[in-house]
Structure 1
Amino acid sequence: MKLNKLALSGLIALGCATAASNAVAQQRINVNIGASHPTTNIWAYAMKEVFQPEVDRLLKEGGGKFEVRWRENYGGTLYKFSETRAAVKDGIVDVGMVGTVWENSAMPLQNVTYFTPFATTNHELLISIFDKLNDTHPALKASWTAQNMVPLSSLITDTYDIYANFPVTNMAALQNKKIHAPGTSANWMRDTGATPVEGALTTYYTNIQTGVTQGALSFASGIGPARVYEVAKYLTRVDVGAMYFGSVAANKSFFDKLPKEVQEAFVKAGKSASVAHGKHVTTSAVKAMETMRAAGLQVSDLPAAERAKWINGLPDIVTPWLQTTGDAGKSVLRAYFDELRARGVKPLRDWDKAAR
């Protein structure tokens, strides 16, 4: 059946009106997203590769009413590693990587793992625990809110070991050595004879190369991409443990103004990013070890007796933290260790006794 000109004109007009209506109905939202590290880094990888596309997918499947225009600021283009909290808190970015490891004064509760070393080496389990605690624990939730942030996805490290330009065959080998141990991880070096030095993966290579330090207490998935093994050719496995490093977080003032559908997409995408982050760290750590060994990295284990000296010889590093954080700190510590044991983990020191 042929359409007459009048009918055809009507259909064309209707189609144009519908298209115009859809165009008007879709709301574009600009989101500044960034990190102090490049997307090759484990903490930024899932932001770019999972969080962003997952938000896009969820919004499209939800009817396409909203569209996000991402303005990416990775690789420290807007802020450095020591400024991650302020960058998200103050809205320099709307969503960003927040390294709470560098924020013990402003966000001490988030650093509970750094005051309780030798608890677990399972970094994927750690993500699950802190995704839960950040969502449900009153003190942790209040801490994020006080910083004008909404945590979306937990960030972790794989287990810490010593990468140095000298072999560590026993604890005595650490005497008078300068070892990078950022933020609160400096506590792990107490009474070991070594001097902890502040720093980050972005600074280790040059500092070791130039003799500022002799090594770093760090993790394979970070050391590998940063190529630190080129100047620190000895890895001594200590297994200090995996650590909760911080979170991908949204600026709360920005987040609260988002439509409900977009908020929900952010939260769901954050959980997907958490899972992807854990798997990526596992894969990255394995690949990093293969690469580093092939490049000549000398790998050894700290003898069990020497490791026991380290674990049992550490002073009570958690009590000063509890004295600073009060009842909130005790509650977070108990909740963390309860979650560990509920998942079958047996920490090598019962740090939570101080909070019972």
Structure 2
Amino acid sequence: MKPNQTMLAAAAAMSVLAAGTAGAETYSYASFNAPSHIMVRTLGSGWADQVRETTGGEVDFEIFPGASLMPPLSMLQGVGDGLATAAHLAVPYYASDLPINYVAGELGFANPDYFALAFAYADYIVNDPAAHGEWRAQNVVPMGTISTPNYYYVCKDVVTDMAALQGKKVRSPGGAWGRFTTDVGFVAVSIPYNELFTSMERNAVDCAAMSTADLVSGATVLELVKSGSVLKIPLSPGYNSAHNAINEDVWKSLTDDQRRAILDAIAVGMVRAHVGYEAEVAKAEQAGRDAGMVFIEEMDEEIQAFYDDWNTRNLQIVIDAAKERGLEDPGAVLESMQSYIDKWAGLIDGVARDDEAALTAILKENLFDQIDETAYGMD
């Protein structure tokens, strides 16, 4: 049987890892995002560059972007099994394996500050025992989170009101996005992010719930939607992912100094990613306007009334659905996660979102400097 490209890439990655000599190792990092995506540039290659520099080349990561090593749905198991040393693991892909972390990602509609959400989830997966334990049960040590900016509906046609959106096929990440997308009248379609461009090109979807930054980076769909619109219904950011989750066995094999280098580089990369996202959103939206896209900045009265009513009902829907899936106390999960969101919203309140130095200092002082590299993930 002829091996497929994913199998070949995985085998190559394992060979790279095995080829390292004592004191100098090259590991693999997998992402489903394109090389141009800001997540890859900051918390992928940028993070790897800092780790390499800090450790004097003792620890290096080869970056496999664009799902070239394995598809998104396989990455959690892939990291746990050591097929990839580390990866960007987006929890919505692994709801059955990480049910607590999945529910913790349902608070974005009520808390739209994506900086606070990202920093809070990073804190949560380190310090909440139940959430942390789910990752460890997969042989994965969680660390490093990133949130997208708020998602909006980006459509190939001009969609301005409830009537225009009825029946249109929309790529949605699932969870609260999928529920709202269906309830408001769209037809939610579940496809991996890395297939978005092709799906739009082939008219398999009419719209996508996405960050407008992806008009010109990542999925880079601007050429497909330049005659369309952005409907700015403020959907939840996507914040519950461990962007630098690492295989537990590899983590334990590193020295204390190497683990500290990885943690410090994550703190820098997290802030750089979010500051960069702010700039990319502004740039992408201007590019969309220049190309002729229509931006609907405010919801009309009908959509606004629907949105407000839906948002008041959403958390109870989350709780009821989680109980049906077997999660014993989803209310306690939401309460715990909300406490971290409140903490970080307070810590960064009033801090300019382009002040990389100030945000990095806050993130390090209140989280990463408190992580004991001699003990974290070593039990």
TM-score range, shorter chain: 0.7 to 0.9
Structure 2 CA distance, aligned partners of 1:307 and 1:51? 40
Asked if structure 2 preserves the Cα contact closer than 8 Å seen for 1:88 and 1:98, the reply is no
Stretches of structure 1 lacking an aligned partner (at least 5 in a row): 1-24, 61-65, 346-356
Structure 2 CA distance, aligned partners of 1:116 and 1:130? 11
In structure 1, the residue matched to 2:196 is 204
In structure 2, the residue matched to 1:80 is 71
1:282 aligned onto 2:278: yes
Stretches of structure 2 lacking an aligned partner (at least 5 in a row): 1-20, 349-379
Asked if structure 1 preserves the Cα contact closer than 8 Å seen for 2:104 and 2:333, the reply is no
In structure 1, the residue matched to 2:59 is 68
In structure 2, the residue matched to 1:222 is 214
Structure 1 CA distance, aligned partners of 2:326 and 2:141? 21
Q: Return the letter of the residue paired with 2:168.
A: K
Aligned length: 316
1:91 aligned onto 2:82: yes
Which one has the largest radius of gyration? 1
Structure 2 CA distance, aligned partners of 1:328 and 1:243? 23
Asked if structure 2 preserves the Cα contact closer than 8 Å seen for 1:116 and 1:318, the reply is no
For 1:243-294, what per-residue CA distance to the aligned partner results, in whole angstroms no more than 9, with x for missing partners? 2141121011211121222122212222222112211221221211122221
Over aligned residue pairs, what C-alpha RMSD do you find?
Answer: 2.4
Structure 1 CA distance, aligned partners of 2:318 and 2:205? 27
Q: Return the letter of the residue paired with 1:223.
A: L
In structure 1, the residue matched to 2:309 is 312
Q: Return the letter of the residue paired with 1:47.
A: L
SS of alignment partner, residue 135 of structure 2: helix
1:234 aligned onto 2:225: no
Structure 2 CA distance, aligned partners of 1:91 and 1:201? 23
Q: Return the letter of the residue paired with 1:306.
A: I
Report the CA distance between 1:26 and its aligned residue: 7.9
1:261 aligned onto 2:257: yes
Q: Return the letter of the residue paired with 1:218.
A: M
SS of alignment partner, residue 154 of structure 1: coil
Asked if structure 2 preserves the Cα contact closer than 8 Å seen for 1:36 and 1:84, the reply is no
- If the length of structure 1 is used for normalisation, what is the TM-score? 0.81
Structure 2 CA distance, aligned partners of 1:113 and 1:240? 16
Q: Which moved more, 1:262-271 or 1:233-242?
A: 262-271
Report the CA distance between 1:113 and its aligned residue: 5.5
In structure 1, the residue matched to 2:120 is 129
Note closer, same or farther for the CA distance 1:224–1:245 as it changes in structure 2 (3 Å cut). Answer: farther
Structure 2 CA distance, aligned partners of 1:308 and 1:340? 26
SS of alignment partner, residue 217 of structure 1: strand
Q: What is the correspondence of 1:288-327 to structure 2 with a 5 Å cutoff?
A: 288-300=284-296, 301-313=298-310, 316-323=316-323, 324=325, 326-327=327-328
Note closer, same or farther for the CA distance 1:116–1:71 as it changes in structure 2 (3 Å cut). Answer: closer
Report the CA distance between 1:205 and its aligned residue: 2.6
Structure 1 CA distance, aligned partners of 2:283 and 2:246? 31
1:112 aligned onto 2:113: no
Structure 2 CA distance, aligned partners of 1:169 and 1:52? 43
For 1:119-167, what per-residue CA distance to the aligned partner results, in whole angstroms no more than 9, with x for missing partners? 2332112121111111111111101101111122102111011111233
Asked if structure 1 preserves the Cα contact closer than 8 Å seen for 2:66 and 2:194, the reply is no
In structure 1, the residue matched to 2:7 is none
Asked if structure 2 preserves the Cα contact closer than 8 Å seen for 1:115 and 1:317, the reply is no
Note closer, same or farther for the CA distance 1:253–1:218 as it changes in structure 2 (3 Å cut). Answer: same
Note closer, same or farther for the CA distance 1:69–1:53 as it changes in structure 2 (3 Å cut). Answer: closer
In structure 2, the residue matched to 1:153 is 144
Report the CA distance between 1:98 and its aligned residue: 1.0
SS of alignment partner, residue 32 of structure 1: strand
For 1:21-48, what per-residue CA distance to the aligned partner results, in whole angstroms no more than 9, with x for missing partners? xxxx981122122212222123322133
Q: Return the letter of the residue paired with 1:83.
A: S
Q: Which runs of 4+ in 1 moved over 6 A?
A: none
1:144 aligned onto 2:100: no
1:31 aligned onto 2:32: no
In structure 1, the residue matched to 2:48 is 52
Q: Which of 177, 180, 200 is matched with 2:171 structurally? A: 180
